[in-house]
Amino acid sequence: MPELPAHALGNPHDADLKPSVLPRFMQLLGVGVFLLSFVVASVFALTEHWRRATFTLGAAMMWLAVLRVSCDSKILGILSVRSRRFDALFNLLLGGGLVFLSSSIDSLGS
């Protein structure tokens, strides 16, 4: 199998950006927090706690926006799709919308 160039696994939209100032361990820890919150949101959804699931998923998406701005694309892997600015704005708006919806809809009967 031929050897891939070093830049082949990074996001081509981020080729001209400076590396993150955060240490690699902190970047991986942030990704771990995102993955854990995604799993928690999935458990809430599977146990039919949809408001908690929506809120947790929205908070996770907003955390992903912070990660996208502060972490390298090679650390985020498939979570960095487009340019850093687009990904961060998209995740922030989507996450904020989910948090708003989950907190603005009245829970029926509780």
pLDDT band at 5 (very low <50, low <70, confident <90, very high): low
Q: What is the pTM of this model?
A: 0.84
Q: Which of 96, 22, 103 is nearest to 60 (CA)?
A: 96
**What pLDDT sits at residue 4?**
47
- pLDDT, tens digit, for every residue of 44-81? 999 999 999 999 999 999 999 999 999 888 888 888 88
Residue spans of the domains in the chain: they are 23-104
pLDDT of residue 18: 82
